Amino acid sequence: MSRPPPDPAEPRVTLAQVARAAGVSEITASRALRDAANVAPRTLEQVRAAARALDYVPNRMAGALAGGASRQVAVVLPSLSNSVFADVLRGLETRLDHAGHHPILGVSNYDPEQEERLIRDLLSWRPAGIVIAPAASTEGTRRMLAQSGLPVVEIMDIDPPPIDTAVGLSQRAAGRAMAAHLTGRGYRRFAYLGHDIAADPRALARLEGLRAGLADVRARFEEVLTLPGPSSVPLGREGLAALLARRAPGGLAVCFSNDDMAVGAMFHCMAAGLAVPGDVALAGFNGLAIGQALPQPLTSIASMRDRIGAVAADTLLARLRGEEPARSIDVGFALIPGATA
């Protein structure tokens, strides 16, 4: 059982070798392997055969350096802890891959400093563009992105003025829509339960939308509780337990920063024998599959995350082709009435 030799003098096959084997010049081989235009069919075949025979793997770094665009796309996400950004990433990767592009990934953990450093690092790979779900970005970050001269697609929220292009939904409008739904159903007592909001500008925007919506009917949150740490099922479960230790349930509608929190809250109600929505009403956000598979489907707002990823990729690719897509693309959201509020 010996490890394959680390191949210290690794003599990688180069384009020059392929060209020699095919009996043509380097540049002709290069063209044959790319455009295929302006190359005689016979030559084309020879070059392809030689490449195949030698197991040639092009060196795209050299290619990108020499002239072509890089075909790598920097992707900066604030988190991979719940499925939200995993969904976005999936949509992104699929579409980029189809176009022969690949994501270089960075996760900022909602830390503006880390985000800035990350962007600086990723930019040094000279990507063709950048897709970012911003944390509370620093001024330096914005300047760097603007000055990079690259297409920049900011995803998730379309309300803040984009540096270049935005793809997502109006987080604020989503918040308002949920508030309207809840007040429309007759609820008059409200609480908010979220993860650490300071770091997550979109959760904050939704909260503000909720507040604005409640204010429309002169209602307000009795309590806004934010817990440290990323949103998660256990956090929602613990959170609701803590909240209900202080507040009478009767007719209280609780809004969550994310479906996973709401699902955890639902579990608490099940375990504590509380009727939903009779004793407590629960409203989530994102329309995750898990919420819809609950015995009672969760009241939520579908956020079409894979769509955001896909559209972000398409928008970026369009800009790379020199087109001028809209500065701001609203992929919308949909209220899911569910049965928990």
Partner DNA sequence: ATTTTCATTGACAGCGCTGTCATCGCCATG
Partner DNA sequence: CATGGCGATGACAGCGCTGTCAATGAAAAT
Interface with DNA (CB under 7 A): 12, 14-16, 24-28, 30-31, 33-34, 38-43, 58-59, 62-63, 65-68
For residue 222, the SS3 value is: strand
Closer of 48 and 90 to its own copies (Cβ): 90
For residue 158, the SS3 value is: coil
Closer of 224 and 267 to its own copies (Cβ): 267
Residue 186 near its own copies by CB under 8 A: no
Residues in CB range of 186: below 8 A, 6 or more apart: none
For residue 27, the minimal CB distance to DNA (Å) is: 4
Touching its own copies, residues 248-277 (CB under 8 A)? 260, 263-264, 267, 270-271
Q: Of 28, 46, 70, 286, which one interacts with its own copies (CB under 8 A)?
A: 70
For residue 41, the minimal CB distance to its own copies (Å) is: 24
Q: Of 16, 53, 146, 334, which one interacts with its own copies (CB under 8 A)?
A: 146
Closer of 89 and 207 to its own copies (Cβ): 89
**Nearest alpha carbon to residue 282 among 226, 229, 332, 243:** 243
Closer of 179 and 320 to its own copies (Cβ): 320
**Quick one: three-class SS letters along 297-339?**
CCEEEECCHHHHHHHHHHHHHHHHCCCCCCCEEECCCEEECCC
Closer of 40 and 53 to DNA (Cβ): 40
Q: Of 20, 48, 54, 90, which one interacts with its own copies (CB under 8 A)?
A: 90
Instruction: List the single partner that 98 binds among DNA, its own copies, none, CB under 5 to 8 Å by kind.
Output: none
For residue 58, the minimal CB distance to its own copies (Å) is: 5
242, with CB counted inside 10 A (0-12, 13-18, 19+), is middle
- Measured CA distances, 171 to 101, 125, 179 (Å): 29, 32, 12
Residue 121 near its own copies by CB under 8 A: yes
Phi-psi category of residue 89: left, alpha or beta, with phi > 0 → left and psi -120 to 50 → alpha: alpha
Closer of 32 and 122 to its own copies (Cβ): 122
For residue 75, the minimal CB distance to DNA (Å) is: 23
**Nearest alpha carbon to residue 292 among 257, 332, 237, 337:** 337
Q: Mask 276-295, x = binds its own copies (CB under 8 A)?
A: -------------xx-xxxx
For residue 121, the SS3 value is: helix
Number of residues that bind its own copies (CB under 8 A): 69
**Which parts of the chain fold into alpha helices (H)?**
15-22, 26-33, 41-54, 60-66, 83-98, 112-123, 139-147, 171-184, 201-216, 233-246, 259-272, 289-293, 305-320
φ, ψ for residue 191, nearest 5 deg? -140, 155
Residue 72 near its own copies by CB under 8 A: yes
Closer of 2 and 38 to DNA (Cβ): 38
Do residues 164 and 188 touch, judged by C-beta distance below 8 A?
A: no
CA atoms within 13 Å, Cβ hemisphere of 80? 9
Cis amide leading into 249 (omega within 30)? no
Please name the helix (run of DSSP H) or strand (run of DSSP E) that holds residue 124, with its range, or none. none
Residues at the interface with its own copies (CB under 8 A): 1, 3-4, 6-7, 10, 12, 55, 57-62, 64-65, 70, 72, 75, 80-83, 86-87, 89-90, 93-94, 97, 100, 102-107, 118, 120-126, 146-147, 149, 163-164, 232-234, 236-237, 260, 263-264, 267, 270-271, 289-290, 292-295, 324, 327
